[in-house]
Chain A
Amino acid sequence: MGGQVGRGFPALEAGGTSSSFFDHVSRSNPELLPFRAGLPAGQLPATPHGTTIVALSFAGGVLMAGDRRATMGSMIANRHIEKVFPADRHSVLGIAGTAGIAVDIVRLFQVELEHYEKIEGTSLSLEGKANRLGAMIRANLPMALQGLSVVPLFAGVEAGDPSGRLFSYDVTGGRYEELEHHSVGSGSVFARGALKKLWRPGLTADEAVAVAVEALIDASDDDSATGGPDLVRQLWPVVYLVKADGAARVGQDALAAVVESIVARRMTERREA
């Protein structure tokens, strides 16, 4: 009789021994998860989709940047959306695909890392974080089969190690380590082409920001779903730098200067990009 009550702390479940928030919620409150298996068949109305994310390594860390557009079919659903987020102090993730689910997966992933850190008293290894993200994307596979896919890009540094690492994913949760640079989303093909020409080993942080912004401008030039820098509304890409001392967002003023120099150069050149 005693054991029965012990298992049922009124509001606190002490039973589980897992340090994973994702596992805990899957067991105790599965309805809170962004993905649910067994969606009935039906016609899905157009939903906002996030587009292009680029990431690249530089001397002393890794950078991730995303444009600010979400599209719904051929419409622009949102001009201000942010698709790159800090996952914890030493890693960031960007998301492409169905925005509604992607943003919730980001939130789930952020809580997952913080939860582990609080329960265990130490933070997960970078590989461990990358694997947990893969597990979440795999859990979303039934939704992906219905057309609600989410494809993240994950980047970070191991605490105390200055070299950054990049991980890409497919909808089945497959995790692939990328070298030098990578991009995901609808404009990724064009961004990748730009990165191949612009990236070089040993970039400084400032040069890396300029390379990422220019790759996004190139993507927006050819992909209608990727938003370029908006000079009228003063909207710049979201750019995060992850170095050994932590992840930090690049300020609006710094980005404005980078965008203006790229645009000015292209205006004087007057070429087809």
Chain B
Amino acid sequence: MAQQFYVSPEQIMKDRADFARKGIARGKSVVVLGCRDGIALVAENPSPTLHKIGEIYDRIAFAAVGKYNEFESLRQAGVRYADVRGYSYDRVDVTARGLASVYAQSLGTVFTAEQKPFEVELAVAEVGETESGDHIFRLNFDGSIADVSGFLAMGGQADIVQAALAALWQPGAGLGQVLRWAVAALESPHAQAAAGVAASGSAKPPVAGGAHLPAATLEVAVLERTAAAERGSHRAFRRLGDDEVASALAASS
């Protein structure tokens, strides 16, 4: 029988975290932003069917980056959790905080006990009556959880997107405005890459205007603050079609 070498727990955890981080960094980014009209969730996602953003419950949405099969199973588990809870108690008793904490437990268990950690990062958003009543939770592959106020970016090169959002985002903006901010932030890593290429004198010319993400490459959904009053529906989640996104983005530019 082969001799097992001692590996310190610190090293094991570090290896696992590095592995997960590498997997997440390969993907594209997702941003979640609060605004006057609700919470906007915007992902760079060329596929119209393999969603990174999903509806969980009446006022709760889910966004994820990383490996599709892993976050899709987490999304479905979240829908089951929310529906069972809402059915056995009441619809108002399903909260983003409760969901985020079971996600944190699951991710934490998988991180320490499974063969490999989940290569995912999740956001759970709940729209409130007012902007101050909104909740956005960020969940990491190791089960760590953070309560974010206002906006968050995750995925590949999330730090660049996050920095761009921090410079742009302000509370109280309209939906069209935050969508334009979101797209500008998602474009910023491309623009930096293009600038870097130009600076290094590469033969490849940068794309005009840095980089431009057309509506077809975006997945956009919104949790509408006034869905119950305006649409008469208890479900606040609504996907925006390409036309709607394109017209919102074109409004100012």
Which residues of A pack against B, CB within 8 Å? 1-2, 5-6, 9-14, 16, 21, 24-25, 28-29, 32, 89, 107-108, 111, 114-115, 118-119, 121
Within 8 A of A (CB), among B56-76: 56, 73-74, 76
Cβ of B78 within 8 Å of any chain A Cβ, yes or no, is yes
- Looking at chain B's contact residues, is the secondary structure mostly helix, strand, loop, or mixed? helix
Assuming the contacts A24-B80, A115-B79, A118-B54, asked whether A12 and B103 have C-beta atoms less than 8 A apart, the reply is yes
Contact residues in B for A1 (Cβ distance below 8 Å) = 113
A142 CB, nearest partner CB in chain B, Å = 21
B26-54 interface code vs A (CB 8 A; 1 in, 0 out): 00000000000000000000000101001
Instruction: Indicate which residue in A10, A114, A121 contacts B106 across the interface (CB closer than 8 Å).
Output: A10
B110-138 interface code vs A (CB 8 A; 1 in, 0 out): 10011100000000000000000000000
**Assembled-state Cα–Cα distance A25/B86 (Å):** 12
Q: A16-B80, A29-B84 are in contact. List 12 more A-B contacts (CB 8 A).
A: A5-B113, A9-B105, A9-B106, A11-B102, A21-B80, A21-B83, A21-B87, A29-B88, A89-B233, A107-B87, A118-B54, A119-B76
**A5, A10, A118: which has the most chain B beta carbons within 10 Å?**
A118
B108 (CB) vs chain A CBs: closest residue? A10
**Assembled-state Cα–Cα distance A157/B23 (Å):** 45
Contact residues in B for A118 (Cβ distance below 8 Å) = 54-56, 79, 83
Instruction: Indicate which residue in B73, B86, B115 contacts A111 across the interface (CB closer than 8 Å).
Output: B86
B231 CB, nearest partner CB in chain A, Å = 10
**Assembled-state Cα–Cα distance A115/B235 (Å):** 12
Which residues of B pack against A, CB within 8 Å? 49, 51, 54-56, 73-74, 76-81, 83-84, 86-88, 102-103, 105-106, 109-110, 113-115, 233, 235
List the 3 shortest-distance A-B pairs measured between CB atoms, nearest first: A12-B77, A11-B102, A14-B77
Contact residues in A for B105 (Cβ distance below 8 Å) = 9-11
**A9, A24, A119: which has the most chain B beta carbons within 10 Å?**
A9
Contact residues in A for B78 (Cβ distance below 8 Å) = 12
A108 (CB) vs chain B CBs: closest residue? B87
Is there an interface contact between A2 and B113, defined as CB atoms closer than 8 Å? yes
**A14, A16, A21: which has the most chain B beta carbons within 10 Å?**
A14
Contact residues in B for A107 (Cβ distance below 8 Å) = 87
B89 CB, nearest partner CB in chain A, Å = 10
A113 CB, nearest partner CB in chain B, Å = 11
- Looking at chain A's contact residues, is the secondary structure mostly helix, strand, loop, or mixed? helix
A29 (CB) vs chain B CBs: closest residue? B84
B62 CB, nearest partner CB in chain A, Å = 10
Contact residues in B for A24 (Cβ distance below 8 Å) = 80, 84
List 5 A-B pairs, Cβ < 8 Å.
Answer: A5-B109, A11-B106, A14-B76, A89-B233, A118-B55
**Assembled-state Cα–Cα distance A61/B118 (Å):** 48
Is there an interface contact between A11 and B81, defined as CB atoms closer than 8 Å? yes
Contact residues in B for A6 (Cβ distance below 8 Å) = 110, 114
Assuming the contacts A115-B79, A118-B56, asked whether A9 and B109 have C-beta atoms less than 8 A apart, the reply is yes
B243 CB, nearest partner CB in chain A, Å = 18
**Assembled-state Cα–Cα distance A119/B80 (Å):** 9
Contact residues in B for A32 (Cβ distance below 8 Å) = 84, 87-88
**Assembled-state Cα–Cα distance A89/B235 (Å):** 11
**Assembled-state Cα–Cα distance A14/B73 (Å):** 6
Contact residues in B for A21 (Cβ distance below 8 Å) = 80, 83-84, 87
A89 (CB) vs chain B CBs: closest residue? B233
Contact residues in B for A14 (Cβ distance below 8 Å) = 73-74, 76-77
B78 (CB) vs chain A CBs: closest residue? A12
A202 CB, nearest partner CB in chain B, Å = 28
A28 (CB) vs chain B CBs: closest residue? B84
Is there an interface contact between B87 and A12, defined as CB atoms closer than 8 Å? no
Is there an interface contact between B83 and A10, defined as CB atoms closer than 8 Å? no
Is there an interface contact between B114 and A13, defined as CB atoms closer than 8 Å? no
**Assembled-state Cα–Cα distance A10/B102 (Å):** 7
B70 (CB) vs chain A CBs: closest residue? A14
Contact residues in B for A10 (Cβ distance below 8 Å) = 102, 105-106, 109
Is there an interface contact between B79 and A121, defined as CB atoms closer than 8 Å? no
**Assembled-state Cα–Cα distance A234/B79 (Å):** 41
Is there an interface contact between B87 and A111, defined as CB atoms closer than 8 Å? yes
Contact residues in B for A119 (Cβ distance below 8 Å) = 76, 79
